[in-house]
Amino acid sequence: MSKLVAFAAIQGGYKVVSSTEGLYRKAMATYNADTKIGFPNTAYYLPVIYSLTGMKVETLEDLKKPLEFARGLLPPHIKGKHHLPYLGPLLDAGMASIFCYEIMEALRILEQPDFYIPEEDPDIEAGKLWVGPADDTILRKRGVEFVDGSAPGFAAMVGAAPNKEIAKDIVEEYQRRSLYIFCAASHNGTTLIEQLLDAGVQIGWNTRIVPFGPDISSAVFALGFANRAAMAFGGVKPGDYKKILLYNKDRIFAFVNALGDVGTEWGVAAAGCVNWGFPTLADTDIPEILPTGICTYEHVVANVSHEEMCQRSVEVRGLKTIVSDIEIPCAFGPAYEGERVRGADLYAQCGGGKTQCTELVKMAEMNEIEDGKVIVDGPDVGDLKEGDTFPMGIFIQVAGREMQPDFEPILERQIHHLINYIQGIMHIGQRDISWVRISKAAIEKGFTLKDIGVVLHAKFHQDFGKILDKVQVTLMTKKEDVEKLTAKARAEYKTRDERVEKMTDEDVEIFYSCTLCQSFAPNHVCSVSPERTGLCGAYNWMDCKASYEINPTGPNQPIEKGECIDPVLGQWKGVNDFVYKASRGAVTHYNFYSMVIDPMTTCGCCECIAAMLPSCNGVMTVNRDYAGETPCGMKFTTLAGVMGGGASSPGFVGHSKFNITQKKFIKGDGGLKRMVWMPKILKEEIKERLDRFGEENGIPGFYDMIADETVGITEEEILPYLQEKGHPALSMDPLIG
């Protein structure tokens, strides 16, 4: 490691700390010391500072302590001909700068509260390009993708490419590898984000190209996201800096790409990222830091060509990514799933209430279908004019020695994601309410309906090769054919739904585990039964059964129920034995049907969290999409932070949306009749099932009896409403006692 590296990084650290101290003095002279400060809608205060030191910055005065801490981290200046060729002083200078960059951004938000747009997507028409720090709702939603592996890591890109074509090429290569791209800083008067917009690339969380901010200080939002993931999903406690940094090195596969001239402020930021195990690769001739030390391989690598930037970055980080080699004219990958096809971009569409669009997967005999055959029966997009609508039926026939009819809905559910993975194609809905929008850009590249079949064939084999030997796809675009398929499909849907709905926990001797989230919450073991769907909402009992048969060594393992210890609370000896072993002794037992007495453990991926409301003798639940306050005094994000790291927390429990109306939902505590509050958005989503519950249980108008935020967000506010409506919870036995 050269003296030049150490000198530049340490000088950069002194410069950043001094600049931040000046900004702080100015703020103290302008505002009161007790002025509130922080990042919007997060329970993690200033997340880098909070996670590494445990310091809770809530007011302007609170910034003084971490700022002094940063000053104390600065090592002596490099003097004379000799220096100590160790990473330690650089890492300290880098960490000091990272703390200060976070303070700078907090001061920016105080002084310019509208600088960032706190949404998943920027408002480009209004000139609002920068989304700033992710709030906790986005963290929970996007963090799940780092749990299940659909997002293998992220590239933090600072600066700008020489031109928009190079910028587009590099970013799209990362998208093809399913990485997130976190963008910050500018070079030569422009930013990577502005180059991408000029090249017609959609940006925002939904396309995994996240425009954090225009300055190098906004790169700190990427590190804050990583540290919050460690706390939210891994259960690492604030202030445990060693675990936080090791967690990021071992589990959050990230790296930095520096595009443009690397000055002292960029250099010290790169040194700061090394603390996390995140290496920096630059396209310029800068001093390198090569093995060994903190990162898995090299720490700082120079002169990386733009053509090699992506491949070299994943190699240096030690990251394994898969690029799906599917022969279609459009790019393909999970990064395009959130891409929108808006009105100005639209060429043609089907479904969405304008025409019928139906999807069906059916098992066939081996000799009935031809593997890889894609049939387009009817007009293709080449026969359409811009703005046209058309009907479509997607009929997939599959055959295999290990294939079972139970697997049909699991395969069918993949259609939504896989079509969305095609760049320029947007898919919404499932079953017989699907909607496909095709962009002009896709048509210009040569997209045809056959490409949908090519994708479905390739990915079904890639993801479900153990059970499938043959996949044949038929795409129908004649109205009469689509109507016939729709009638057939609706009969199939009805049969499937009735079978799953009628299953009870008593019908089976085997439950299934799901340990996907253990990579983030090591003690969490999700047990899935017919009447207790997975907390994330993505897995029901049938899904887990299919998953196990497809992959016997995967995350969904069979659990023999064994002796029933408590049928009311839902506890079995076999489940307890499995949970004890799978949690490495951290959890000895839990109950399926109670949130009051030893409830199931909860991870950060749950769709909803229920909590007791003692004054109302009932319970509430809140879904992750609701960002407001709740009657238990905590937002979803706070609840998830308190009990979402794999703990069993009496009085709280995570669950799926569907589980709310399953018959054994908190049966041991009185069941769904206890539900007194939930967000309006959730209540409306499950209205039909709530109405059915009320009819079946002699509680007419039960939907209207449940309060929401329009009634109140405290127990005191909602209690009169519950009394007025005659809510059944008020006349039930005490919830506690």
Check whether the bond before 292 is cis (ω within 30° of 0): yes
Residue range 23-49: mean pLDDT, rounded? 94
pLDDT at position 409, please?
Answer: 86
- Residue 79 pLDDT grade (very low, low, confident, very high; cuts 50, 70, 90): low
For 316-325, how does the pLDDT look when each residue is reduced to its tens digit (9 = 90+)?
A: 998 877 666 7
Asked which of 4-8, 249-253, 560-564 is least confident by mean pLDDT, the reply is: 4-8
Domains and their CATH numbers in the chain:
334-488 (3.30.1650.10), 505-731 (3.40.1470.10)
pLDDT at position 90, please?
Answer: 86
Sign of CA dihedral 173, 176, 178, 183: positive
Structure tokens at 266: 């960029």
CA distances from residue 457 to 265, 368, 419, 454, 470 in whole angstroms, order as listed: 49, 16, 11, 5, 9
Would you state the torsion angle of the CA atoms of residues 210, 215, 219, 220, taken in this order, to the nearest 10 degrees? -130
Judged against a pLDDT cut of 60, whether residue 83 lies above it is answered with no
Query: What residues does 655 pair with on adjacent strands?
Result: 608
For 352-374, how does the pLDDT look when each residue is reduced to its tens digit (9 = 90+)?
A: 889 999 999 999 999 999 999 99
Q: Residues in the chain, how many?
A: 737
- Residue 125 pLDDT grade (very low, low, confident, very high; cuts 50, 70, 90): confident
For 576-609, how does the pLDDT look when each residue is reduced to its tens digit (9 = 90+)?
A: 999 999 888 889 999 999 999 999 998 767 889 9
Asked which of 74-83, 391-400, 479-488, 676-685 is least confident by mean pLDDT, the reply is: 74-83
What's the whole-number average pLDDT of the chain?
Answer: 91
Do residues 699 and 705 lie in contact, with contact meaning Cβ atoms separated by under 8 Å?
yes
Residue range 720-735: mean pLDDT, rounded? 96
Query: What are the start-end ranges of the E strands in 409-563?
Result: 425-428, 435-439, 470-476, 510-514, 526-528, 558-560
Which residue type is seen at 513? S
Token match 């700008």: residue? 160
Q: Using a cut of 0.85, tell me whether the model's pTM lies above it.
A: no
Do residues 514 and 544 lie in contact, with contact meaning Cβ atoms separated by under 8 Å?
yes
Judged against a pLDDT cut of 90, whether residue 255 lies above it is answered with yes
- Residue 384 pLDDT grade (very low, low, confident, very high; cuts 50, 70, 90): very high
Closest CA to 129 of 216, 191, 200: 191
For 410-426, how does the pLDDT look when each residue is reduced to its tens digit (9 = 90+)?
A: 898 889 989 999 999 99
Q: How far is it, in rounded angstroms, from Cα 167 to Cα 192? A: 7
Token match 């090429």: residue? 169
For 295-304, how does the pLDDT look when each residue is reduced to its tens digit (9 = 90+)?
A: 888 899 999 9
pLDDT at position 572, please?
Answer: 97
- Residue 646 pLDDT grade (very low, low, confident, very high; cuts 50, 70, 90): confident
Judged against a pLDDT cut of 60, whether residue 84 lies above it is answered with no
For 147-182, how does the pLDDT look when each residue is reduced to its tens digit (9 = 90+)?
A: 667 788 999 999 999 999 999 999 999 988 889 999
Rg (CA), the chain: 27
Helix (H) or strand (E) holding 574: helix 573-582
Q: How far is it, in rounded angstroms, from Cα 47 to Cα 259? A: 26
Do residues 222 and 256 lie in contact, with contact meaning Cβ atoms separated by under 8 Å?
no
Question: What would you measure as the largest C-alpha separation in the chain, in angstroms?
Answer: 87
Asked which of 344-348, 644-648, 690-694 is least confident by mean pLDDT, the reply is: 644-648
Within 10 A of 167 (CB to CB), how many other CB atoms are there? 27
Judged against a pLDDT cut of 50, whether residue 390 lies above it is answered with yes
In the chain, the percentage of residues whose pLDDT exceeds 70 is 96
pLDDT at position 292, please?
Answer: 65
Judged against a pLDDT cut of 80, whether residue 82 lies above it is answered with no
Residue range 443-447: mean pLDDT, rounded? 96
Judged against a pLDDT cut of 50, whether residue 1 lies above it is answered with no
Taking CB atoms within 8 Å and a gap of at least 24, the contacts of 14-19 are 14/74, 14/77, 14/93, 15/264, 15/265, 15/268, 16/96, 16/97, 16/100, 16/101, 16/265, 16/268, 17/67, 17/70, 17/71, 17/74, 17/96, 17/97, 17/100, 19/100, 19/104
pLDDT at position 519, please?
Answer: 53
Do residues 664 and 612 lie in contact, with contact meaning Cβ atoms separated by under 8 Å?
no
Residue partners of 504: CB distance under 8 A and separation at least 6: 530, 531, 663
Residue range 115-128: mean pLDDT, rounded? 90
Q: How far is it, in rounded angstroms, from Cα 339 to Cα 120? A: 12
Closest CA to 15 of 212, 271, 250: 271
For 265-308, how does the pLDDT look when each residue is reduced to its tens digit (9 = 90+)?
A: 998 999 999 999 999 999 998 888 876 678 888 899 999 999 99
Q: How far is it, in rounded angstroms, from Cα 177 to Cα 426? A: 19
Do residues 606 and 644 lie in contact, with contact meaning Cβ atoms separated by under 8 Å?
yes
Asked which of 111-120, 225-234, 716-725 is least confident by mean pLDDT, the reply is: 225-234
